[in-house]
Structure 1
Amino acid sequence: MTDSHGLSVRWSLADAPSDVADRLREYVTGTSIHRFTGMDGLRFKTWRLRAGEWFEGTYVFAGEAARDAFQERFTGEAAESPGSQIVGSAPVSIEPFEVVAVAEGAAGFAAGPGPGA
């Protein structure tokens, strides 16, 4: 994997509605996963959740330009994004990062909903 650049978008769930984790799971597995599957310039995206604490989208792009273009677009609409609407607030952080390396384990890479879906 060469020239991969990431972006992390995190929402706080501290003041979110009590059913937010279920609503986020439903949105991600029913809608959002389809939006990002096959997206130009995107290597992969993961959605991470710690119920009652935070929800995060982690993106890895095929290059800095693709990441920067997505970040600029998303930052402009972050407060109105579906995730923000579900959580009830804008992201607390939008952070670009460098991907140093990725290792694929013996179990292989599996795309699709996680165990909470």
Structure 2
Amino acid sequence: MRGLSVRWSLTGAGADTADALRDYVAEASHAKFTGMQGLRFKTWRMREGEWFEGTYVFATAEARASFQETFTAAAATAPVSEMTGGAPEFIEEFEVVAIAEGWDGFESSARG
């Protein structure tokens, strides 16, 4: 499996940015990625006041490369870039060695 991390800085972002990001994920982004072909799963992570990140796991290197090419070309004007006031700090590929599903299983949710 092939992973991709995209991280934006929240340093200097407005006080309401974290809530705006939560709303954006719940109202638009979660639905966009649910059922996406070639994507195994996506996780949205945040350390309020520090950073916001999308972490993707793709079924194949080709699926990741296709998404990464399209995303990178428009990253500076992506909705999250507009909300945070800047393009991603990094877009980083990685290998997923393994995934273990715990007893409680995975939950697909736009709100914690």
TM-score normalised by L of structure 2: 0.98
Residues 43-83 of structure 1, C-alpha deviations (whole Å, 9 max, x = no match): 00000010000000000000000001101110000000011
Pick from 85, 88, 93: which aligns with 2:85?
88
Superposition pairs of residues 18-97 of structure 1, within 5 angstroms: 18-97=15-94
- State the secondary structure of the residue aligned to 2:105: coil
State the 4+ residue runs in structure 1 displaced beyond 2 angstroms.
Answer: none
Give 2:13's aligned residue: 16
Alpha-carbon distance in 1 for matches of 2:75, 2:17? 18
Query: Gaps spanning 5+ residues in structure 1: where?
Result: none
The root-mean-square deviation of aligned C-alpha atoms, in Å, is 0.6
Q: 1:72 aligns to what SS in structure 2? A: helix
Instruction: State the SS of the aligned residue for 1:9.
Output: strand
What is the identity, as a one-letter code, of the residue corresponding to 2:100? A
Structure 2 gaps, min length 5: none
Could you tell me the TM-score, scaled by structure 1's length?
A: 0.94
Aligned length: 112
Alpha-carbon distance in 2 for matches of 1:83, 1:68? 21
Question: Matches of 1:8 and 1:17 in 2, distance apart?
Answer: 23
Once the two structures are aligned, what percentage of the paired residues are identical?
60
